[in-house]
Amino acid sequence: MRSIPLKAKPLDMETGRHIVVLHEQDAEELGHFAGDRVQLATPKAKLVAIANTTKRMVRKGEVGAFIEVAEALGLKLGDTLSVTLVPRPRSVDFIKKKMSGQQLTTEEIYAIVDDITAMNLSSVEMSAFVVAEVIQGMVTSEIVALTQRMVSSGDRLELNTSPVLDVHSIGGVPGNKYAMVAVPIVAAAGLVVPKTSSRAITSAAGTADVMEVLTNVTLGMDEIKRIVQKVGAVLAWGGAVRLAPADDIIISVERTLGVDPRCQLLASVMSKKLAVGADRILIDIPTGPGAKVEAMDQARSFAHDFMELGNKLNVQVEVAITYGGQPVGYAVGPALEAKEALETLRGNGPGSLVEKATSLAGIMLELGGVASSGMGRQMACEILNSGKADQKMREIIEAQGGNPDVKPEEIPIGDKKEVILAPHDGYVINIDNACINEIARTVGAPRDKGAGLRVMLKEGRKVSKDEPILEIYAKHETRLDDALRIVKRNPPITIGGMLLEKMTHRPRIG
């Protein structure tokens, strides 16, 4: 195909893809249409990028290269490039095949993952793939291939030790900061836990968002290895390293669309765990009204899928189905959750968080062989109550560059605050998880670390009229106003009495 020489014009903007812009006259000369691919070649390197056209951003004879392309090719202003029109990748046809409901071969899935990793797919094509996963799903063989290719497409953490444990919650429950307590407990018992986490997709805070309040989570592979070898554990952001990089690109699309397809979730979790060398994995599936998985039969089906996938990938997987019908603890949002996690480690945490963290830590202690069957939770509680978990968390925070002596009360939260009062006497009969997450995200979580909310009472608790039931925190007044409109339209906490409804029958006269 015909090539033309163009001068590089680096553009100071990230796009998340390999994207360039051509002047419309150069595009016409190439026979290019908006969204077509071009190969960019220098004497030292070449890559394929998606090209769009412009009249003003670049002049004729120039190619505008956004940050990802400019860095990949080492471009400087005025460098000469050879630009060639190339056909769209075959993986687009495989995406269309999945959209029609057909099963993909291993080679076809590998091709899709490779093009995702190489940033060869447009935003529209990526979205089509994610939506196809939501609607059509995948069989086990497809998920195995997806997982394996996502692992092999990135870097791997080599610790040269066993066992290596890891834990992951599929999420969907507000305030699910269990890992901030469970990981230090397990590491304090002498086990190795290289915990990498994603940022929030649809919730108010992921583990990485919460840990970032206390210390640096953007760690390189060498740093993660050094910290794990030094203190036995890490709580880091997986997106900062090339652990299954295709997964991080897909997650960015999921976050934009507000979806989390089951097959991709399975592959995402397992690929990240395999990439850090985990050979014993615990999966937490919160279940209940308003959770991502609402019914026990769904949870058991999900658990079966995880264990089957683990068997196919030759790793030991255990699954815990936990209660997810209301928030874990009381705090929702990065800073508020970080405060609550530290309080829990220092002996003053809410019962639901203590129970969940020690239960999951107990299973991991048994998986790691340091606690006998059925005795893991008791050992986890002893470690927590002794202060050893708190000391281990301090070591982790310091090793990652934070202040190990930080006190919960020193953590700043949003200075704009609104207290929601009970409209009448009664009992808390329902807490709407989805609405709690919506409110927390509306006030700015997780981007604004101090934004979020605190649930004052849990289900079953008696409440009096005008008693505080919710505290909302924000950095910006406008965001707080938006959240209050949500509360008014859809109250997240339902107060009711023992009498649900009165029905009267009046006999007809005459």
* Domain ranges, ordered by start, for the chain: 3-86, 91-137, 165-241+256-408, 412-496
Q: At a CB cut-off of 8 Å and minimum separation 6, what does 15 contact? A: 66, 67, 68
What CATH number does domain 91-137 carry, 2.30.30.90, 1.20.970.10, 2.40.50.140, 3.30.750.24?
1.20.970.10
**Residue 240: both structure tokens together:** 């900062």
**Residue 120: both structure tokens together:** 């060869």
3-86 under CATH 3.60.20.10, yes or no: no
Nearest to 119 by CA among 221, 253, 23, 237: 253
Average pLDDT over residues 483-509: 81
Amino acid code (one letter) for 273: K
d(CA 131, CA 139): 16
Q: What band does 402 get if pLDDT is binned at 50, 70 and 90? A: very high
Please name the CATH architecture into which domain 165-241+256-408 falls.
Answer: 3-Layer(aba) Sandwich (3.40)
Q: Are 340 and 331 in contact (CB under 8 A)?
A: yes
- The angle that helices 106-117 and 245-257 make with each other, rounded to 10 degrees, is 80
Q: Is the dihedral of CA 349, 352, 355, 356 positive or negative?
A: negative
Q: Under CATH, which number does the domain 412-496 receive?
A: 3.90.1170.30
Summarize pLDDT for 223-270 with one digit per residue, the tens: 999 999 999 999 999 878 888 889 888 988 998 888 889 999 999 999
Q: Are 281 and 167 in contact (CB under 8 A)?
A: yes
Can 91-137 and 165-241+256-408 be said to share one CATH topology?
no
Question: Does the pLDDT value for residue 1 go beyond 70?
Answer: no
Pairing of strands 280-287, 165-169: parallel
φ, ψ of residue 173 to 5 degrees: the values are: -115, 125
Q: What band does 502 get if pLDDT is binned at 50, 70 and 90? A: low
Beta bridge partners of 286: 322
Q: Are 464 and 422 in contact (CB under 8 A)?
A: yes
| Residues labelled as active-site residues | 260
The confidence score (pLDDT) of residue 243 equals 87
Prediction pTM value: 0.87
Q: Are 420 and 439 in contact (CB under 8 A)?
A: no
Residue 36 CB neighbours (<10 A): 19
d(CA 236, CA 220): 9
SS3 assignment, position 469: strand
